[in-house]
Amino acid sequence: MSGLKSMEHGALGEARAKAFLLERFWVLERSVDIQGADYLIQRRITDRNFMDRSPPKLGVVQVKYVQDGDTYLSIFKEYLCDSEGYPYKEFFLLVFTGRESNSRSFLLSSDEYIKLSSENLKSGKIRLQVKASTILESSNYEILDHTRALERIDHALRSADFFANRRFLGATNYIKISPDQIEHDFLLPMDNQYAEIGKAFFEEKKKLQRIVFDAEEILDSMQKMLRSTDPEEAFRIYEEDLWEHIGQGRGIVLDADFFNDEDFLASVKSHKKRLDAIRDKGMEASFFALLQKIESELPVRIADLKITEDTRIQIIVSYDSATLLDARVTVKEVTGTKETPRLVNSSLGCHTIEFSPFQCFSWEIRTGKTPPPESAEDVEEQIRTLIWLLRRPLQSEIEKHLIGEDLALEW
């Protein structure tokens, strides 16, 4: 490739990258490429600055433009991971290819790039190389939904802030918990029959945190007794602060009602297995784009109908069976009194179910305490609130044909 062509590709890739990143982040440019950073990005938060004791973490974004799958990508290993081989969570690679209507973009974390790469030692430094076709031929890394891709980077920066703060507060026993402290994979909308994994994980952590606070209070009282020079004072501390925690066997008793839900654990394991299977097929981005298409279009199409308790609809979802792309969602009213949801037919590329949309209305409407919505906007809002009732059977059928019935979500 000529030097002029290389410069043109570099400029094209960086322009696309900057436009994409500016949708969510502050983008800082560097005059020279240091430590693999074409761009440094910062979350748009205004209550912290770089003079704080714990300033906000910056993300590092390297940009590559490839002409075709025969191109090799090469990044110094030290840009991607520390000396012990742990990937930098704040590093992301943006890969662009094609022009105009044929343009495509891909997002990889440092961990994903490392797993795809092979090492090449040159001039005393290790480069990690990946053939572009490995990335371009899989939808796992393709950006089909800008919001989801930007949220993934945003979550990585929030997590980096958490780990930095945890190191800073390591001398203390305090750990501030928040719903953000979970791997991004568990925030993907896989759905399950238990609950939202992120919310459930946070609730279990809150239970554990309450026990930690109790344990710290017990330890603090014991330390006061050890420091005491007055036996009467030591007995008083025992009776006032410790007695309620002493069990029948004279041991310390704490309520251990946390992380003991087998259904939650089973849902987590199922989530991992299903996601791994979808990734093994190279279908991650297109799978979630298909679910997003279903979730966004169904409420709009159903809202065009006059919904009563007796209304039955037939939902047809069709798509390219090889790529999961080019999805179409069709909704039409049908007659019948059979129990719903009811599977009409299902094959990879086309699924048809019958459903009673009245079931997506609130409990107050279904029981007659509140009149049903009249405007299309109000109907759409009601449907979106319980959209999982519509999405789950369709997602289950897609998964059955994609990754097998043993792994697929049940409905």
Are residues 258 and 380 both part of a single domain? no
DSSP state, 22? T
- The burial class, CB within 10 Å (0-12 / 13-18 / 19+), for 214 is middle
Give the integer Cα–Cα distance in Å for 269 and 119: 32
Residues 302 and 381 in one domain: yes
Half-sphere exposure of 367 (CA within 13 A, CB side): 4
Quick one: 312 exposed, middle or buried, by C-beta within 10 A (0-12, 13-18, 19+)?
Answer: middle
Q: Does some domain include residue 409?
A: no
The answer on 197 and 145 residing in a single domain is no
Q: Are residues 158 and 44 located together in one domain of the fold?
A: yes
- From first to last of the 411 residues of the chain, give the pLDDT tens digit: 555 666 777 788 889 999 999 999 999 866 555 566 789 998 887 655 555 555 667 889 999 999 999 999 999 999 999 888 889 989 999 999 999 889 999 999 999 999 999 999 988 899 999 999 999 999 999 999 999 999 999 999 888 765 554 443 344 455 678 888 899 999 999 999 888 999 999 999 999 988 888 888 899 999 999 999 999 999 999 999 888 888 777 788 888 889 999 999 999 999 999 999 999 999 999 999 999 999 999 999 999 999 999 999 999 999 999 999 999 999 999 987 778 899 999 999 999 999 999 999 999 999 999 999 989 999 999 999 999 999 999 999 999 999 999 999 998
DSSP β-bridge partners for residue 64:
95
Number of domains into which the chain is organized: 3
Position 215 in a domain: yes
Helix and strand numbers, DSSP H then E, in the chain: 12, 12
- Claim to verify: residue 112 and residue 149 sit in the same structural domain: yes
Residue 361 lies in a domain: yes
381 within a domain of the structure (yes/no): yes
Separation between Cα atoms, residue 292 and residue 58, nearest integer Å: 30
Question: Domain ends where: 128, 163, 198?
Answer: 163
Structural domain boundaries enclosing 29: 3-163
- Residue 94, in any domain of the structure: yes
Whether residues 228 and 295 share a domain: the answer is: no
Q: What is the pTM of this model?
A: 0.81
Residues 256 and 325 in one domain: no
Whether residue 146 is found in the same domain as residue 199: no
Considering the domain architecture, whether residues 151 and 292 belong to the same structural domain is answered as: no
Residues 244 and 368 in one domain: no
CATH (domain of 22):
3.40.1350
Q: Give the residue among 209, 367, 377, 390 at the shortest CA–CA distance from 314.
A: 390
- Do 321 and 378 share a domain, yes or no? yes
